[in-house]
Amino acid sequence: MKGRIFSGMRPTGALHIGHLSVIQNWVDLQKDYECYFSIVDLHALTTGYEDRLDFSQLRRDIALDWLSVGINPDISAVFIQSAVKEHAELQLLLGMFTPLSWLERVPTYKDQIQQLSQQGKDLGMYGFLGYPLLMAADILLYKSNVVPVGEDQIPHVELCREIARRFNHLYETVFPEPKDFVGKVPLLPGVDGRKMSKSYHNAISLTASPKEIKERVQQMVTDPARLRKDDPGHPEVCVVYKFHQIYTPEVAEVEENCRGGKVGCVACKRHLAENLEKLINPFRERRTYWEEPGRVEKVLKEGAERARETASVTMKEVHSVMGL
């Protein structure tokens, strides 16, 4: 029997190449696990409840991003969280025995409330307190064994294990204790050297055209001490080099040419732009296929059906052992 995997992302806008390694981890895991990949729109509502977001567009966009990178809907269930009502039901039932103090002590909880209150957003809501509980419901609903996540999500998966343990102790053993899996995620700066983020306008999107890629690479900050082509460069302070480290197999040569003043920044940027095009072009091609009307919708519909099938089996058990 293959183990099961659940993971999700909030539909909050187009993904960029900073997200790529996480999705590529999913793509690799598809071969060895039965995977459930969910667009977690309910989670997005916990922080965006007053933003009047158009989720139909946001969900389609992120589904397209996943499919373009290589999530294969023939082997993995790709679906929208709110389309599978069992997520909400299991969250409710887990809430019966989850102490408030467990939720309040999640490290990001108070931080986020404070941070977002500075932006005028009030997160002192029941829904936001329940964010990690909903996430536990996501994971446990499929009896997931492994949860691929970013490092920031580890405390949430830990809490999920505690909730599973408590459930199994109070009622009967229904849930495996899921392990987090933090794949290799190289730290990718934005073109200005800060963290890559859509809100900083320094990101390279997964749909970037060759022209956009060139423009973005043009904007990258290089070694300020290098005024002429034959000045010796310092790759450790150069954003272009940080990208070469991730996307250029012959990076050792790039470093040598920079330090030795043998290749100038203009040529070095052209080299990087070519490699980024090689990376992104196949995504754009696959995306064109999936963009045909009806294709994404079909994937999400069939994904939800498969998810519901598994979820309903778990919920029957949960009802039974909770005496409902």
DSSP 31: T
CA 54 vs CA 48, 81, 92, 134, 284: distances in Å:
11, 15, 26, 21, 24
Report the residue from 23, 106, 123, 135 that binds ligand TRP according to the rule CB under 6 A: 135
- For the record, the structure tokens of 175 come out as 């849930």
**CA–CA separation, 121 and 114 (whole Å):** 9
**CA–CA separation, 160 and 178 (whole Å):** 8
**CA–CA separation, 152 and 159 (whole Å):** 13
Judged by beta carbon, residue 140 or residue 191, the one nearer ligand TRP is: 140
Residue 138 — φ and ψ, nearest 5°?
-50, -50
Q: Does residue number 147 form part of the binding site for ligand TRP (CB under 6 A)?
A: yes
**CA–CA separation, 218 and 223 (whole Å):** 13
**Shortest Cβ 260–ligand TRP spacing (Å):** 42
Report the residue from 4, 10, 16, 60 that binds ligand TRP according to the rule CB under 6 A: 10
Q: Does residue number 257 form part of the binding site for ligand TRP (CB under 6 A)?
A: no
Given the rule CB under 6 A, which of 147-155, 162-170, 239-247, 273-281 is the region that contacts ligand TRP?
147-155
Judged by beta carbon, residue 40 or residue 299, the one nearer ligand TRP is: 40
What is the number of other CB atoms lying within 10 angstroms of the CB of residue 181?
Answer: 16
Report the residue from 139, 220, 265, 280 that binds ligand TRP according to the rule CB under 6 A: 139
Q: Does residue number 226 form part of the binding site for ligand TRP (CB under 6 A)?
A: no
Report the residue from 41, 65, 86, 138 that binds ligand TRP according to the rule CB under 6 A: 138
**Binders of ligand TRP in range 40-79 (CB under 6 A):** 40, 43
Number of residues that bind ligand TRP (CB under 6 A): 13
**Shortest Cβ 276–ligand TRP spacing (Å):** 25
Query: Do the Cβ atoms of 244 and 267 come closer than 8 Å?
Result: no
**Shortest Cβ 300–ligand TRP spacing (Å):** 17
Judged by beta carbon, residue 28 or residue 236, the one nearer ligand TRP is: 28
Write out the H or E segment, with its range, that includes residue 63.
helix 55-69
Report the residue from 153, 205, 248, 310 that binds ligand TRP according to the rule CB under 6 A: 153
CA 250 vs CA 16, 56, 123: distances in Å:
24, 42, 47
Judged by beta carbon, residue 139 or residue 263, the one nearer ligand TRP is: 139
Q: Does residue number 202 form part of the binding site for ligand TRP (CB under 6 A)?
A: no
**Shortest Cβ 139–ligand TRP spacing (Å):** 5
Report the residue from 63, 83, 149, 220 that binds ligand TRP according to the rule CB under 6 A: 149
Query: Do the Cβ atoms of 109 and 103 come closer than 8 Å?
Result: yes
- In the chain, the amino acid numbered 3 is G
**CA–CA separation, 135 and 180 (whole Å):** 13
Alpha helices, DSSP H only, in 70-119?
86-94, 100-104, 107-118
Q: Does residue number 8 form part of the binding site for ligand TRP (CB under 6 A)?
A: yes
**Shortest Cβ 71–ligand TRP spacing (Å):** 15
Judged by beta carbon, residue 6 or residue 167, the one nearer ligand TRP is: 6
Residues in the chain: 324
**Shortest Cβ 8–ligand TRP spacing (Å):** 4
Beta-bridge partners for 282: none
Residues of this chain that interact with ligand TRP (CB under 6 A) are 6-10, 40, 43, 135, 138-139, 147, 149, 153
